[in-house]
Structure 1
Amino acid sequence: MSEWRELNEDSKTIWEQNAKHWDEYMGNESNRFHQELIRPYTEKLLKVKKRQTILDIGCGNGNFSRRLAELGAHVVAFDYSEQMVESTKNRSENYLNQIDYRVVDATNYDELFSLGNKKYDSAVANMALMDIADITPLVNSLHKLLKTNGTFVFSITHPCFQTPGLRKINETEDIEGKIMIKNSIQISKYLSPES
């Protein structure tokens, strides 16, 4: 457990240092990756209805929290970066009657249980789980946080896109007088776990 605690503290320190940059980078509308790939499918899986209560885990700068509020949900959103939550509140002034932002550490059972018991229709973690050093407390807490038949929707980067030794390949090919450019990645240890 002490190894995870140390990793969690390192991660929290890094996010505190990068909070301002990340907030500016994501802006009010998020980036194209979130807008075109993550958001539409996450919304489809969540099946958001007006007046639902949704838990936004690792909310970052609150882009998706605000989107959920636009769809009519009441949102409790948390992140473990105090600076990120402060920036998020500043970006969300028009939504503060629908979004309750909190500083909560997803690796801490007591902090998670402070969010309420059987309170949430759904929980969502958009591109956040891979930044949580130990997801065991969060996963073990979800059944207590979610209402009966509540849903948990998450998105993560597929491990093949983040492996050490990944090679990015750019090829230019002349096909019947037309120049075609192909981008790809080469993975050499896809099925072998990294230590």
Structure 2
Amino acid sequence: MSEWKSLTGDSQARWDEVAPFWDDYMGAASNRFHREIVRPKTEELLDVKEGHAVLDLACGNGNFSRRLADLGANVVAFDYSPVMVQRALERSSDYAGRIDYRVADATNAESLLGLGTQQYESAVANMALHDIADISAIPKALQVMLKPGGVFVFSIPHPCFQPPGMRKIHETEEINGVVATRNSIQISKYLTPEPCESIGIRGQPVPHYLFHRPLSAYMNLFMRSSFVLDGFEEPSFEPDDKAGERFDWYEIPPAAIFRFRKQG
């Protein structure tokens, strides 16, 4: 599997620049995508219990870290953007002693292992691995960091349906006096891993890097490190009163959520 470690420094610099914009946009409650697509199934797969030690990889502004603490977890959360970590600290003043924020680099095994070994019941990465230039160190480090039987749950944009160059198509048609709408996507490539520049939120000051990998790349990487895939979800939105007025994801899942369990 291709990795792009040489882009790590540039990727971090861009996230430092984007961090204030993203934090202001996401706020304390995050956006609809995280609330309806990412969070429910992630919480279900994690199954956090009171007193669990949980590692939050690439924590961003700490939105999910605070949710984990609300569920009773003791959280260590990190990001490689010092600006993002500072934003998380500023939003988490009511969580002193419950969330330990750190600056660490997920592409570096030594940096990861400095966060603790044989310590965590679970680890989580919400919509983050596709933003990391080299994820090869993560499963190896987690084998040491997680307790026996511990799990790693992570979500990514569904690579089958959101590869680079994907086009969203929103069609409106009148059929026998009734206006019908139809959403579809058009893709021309999927299998080849590649980096690209991406605008996650319109108006952000600079594009950030996105690193496309097919599903098999993620599965093989973790299975080679003695993890077993024992949970997988493809959530989509439920239609609402704005259905038909916009492109939305109903039958095409916009995200894939994995649970890998450590063996031994």
TM-score of the aligned structures, taking structure 1 as reference length: 0.93
Q: Tell me the equivalent position of 1:110.
A: 110
Aligned 8 A contact 1:89 1:96 in 2: no
Q: Give, as a single letter, the amino acid of the residue that structure 2 aligns with 1:193.
A: T
Q: Deviations over 1:26-71 (max 9, x none)?
A: 1001110000010000000000100100000000011100000001
Q: Tell me the equivalent position of 2:160.
A: 160
Query: Counterparts of 2:165 and 2:116 in 1: how far apart (Å)?
Result: 43
- Structure with a larger share of its residues in helix: 1
Q: Tell me the equivalent position of 1:10.
A: 10
Query: Counterparts of 1:164 and 1:42 in 2: how far apart (Å)?
Result: 25
* 1:31-110 to 2 correspondences below 5 Å: 31-110=31-110
Query: Counterparts of 1:165 and 1:43 in 2: how far apart (Å)?
Result: 31
Q: Give, as a single letter, the amino acid of the residue that structure 2 aligns with 1:25.
A: Y
Query: Counterparts of 2:126 and 2:26 in 1: how far apart (Å)?
Result: 13
Q: Tell me the equivalent position of 2:213.
A: none
Residue 188 of structure 1: how far off its partner (Å) = 2.5
For structure 1, the residue ranges without an aligned partner over 5 or more in a row are none
Residue 160 of structure 1: how far off its partner (Å) = 3.4
Query: Counterparts of 1:145 and 1:174 in 2: how far apart (Å)?
Result: 57
User: Percent identity among equivalent residues?
Assistant: 58
SS of 1:58's equivalent in the other structure is: coil
* 1:22-37 to 2 correspondences below 5 Å: 22-37=22-37
SS of 1:180's equivalent in the other structure is: strand
Q: How big is the alpha-carbon RMSD for the aligned residues of Structure 1 and Structure 2?
A: 1.4
SS of 2:88's equivalent in the other structure is: helix
Q: 1:38 to 1:164 in 2, by over 3 A?
A: closer
Residue 87 of structure 1: how far off its partner (Å) = 0.5
SS of 2:28's equivalent in the other structure is: coil
Q: Tell me the equivalent position of 1:147.
A: 147
Query: Counterparts of 1:88 and 1:43 in 2: how far apart (Å)?
Result: 20
Residue 167 of structure 1: how far off its partner (Å) = 2.3
Query: Counterparts of 2:37 and 2:167 in 1: how far apart (Å)?
Result: 23
Q: Give, as a single letter, the amino acid of the residue that structure 2 aligns with 1:35.
A: R
Query: Counterparts of 1:164 and 1:39 in 2: how far apart (Å)?
Result: 24
Q: Give, as a single letter, the amino acid of the residue that structure 2 aligns with 1:43.
A: E
Residue 113 of structure 1: how far off its partner (Å) = 0.9
For structure 2, the residue ranges without an aligned partner over 5 or more in a row are 195-264
Residue 108 of structure 1: how far off its partner (Å) = 1.2
Higher RCO structure (Cα 8 Å, ≥6 apart) = 2
Q: Deviations over 1:96-117 (max 9, x none)?
A: 2210000000011111111111
Residue 5 of structure 1: how far off its partner (Å) = 3.6
TM-score of the aligned structures, taking structure 2 as reference length: 0.70
Residue 183 of structure 1: how far off its partner (Å) = 2.1
Residue 171 of structure 1: how far off its partner (Å) = 1.1
SS of 1:188's equivalent in the other structure is: coil
SS of 2:4's equivalent in the other structure is: helix
Query: Counterparts of 1:106 and 1:94 in 2: how far apart (Å)?
Result: 27
Q: Deviations over 1:85-144 (max 9, x none)?
A: 001000011112210000000011111111111000000000010111111111110010
Query: Counterparts of 2:16 and 2:110 in 1: how far apart (Å)?
Result: 22
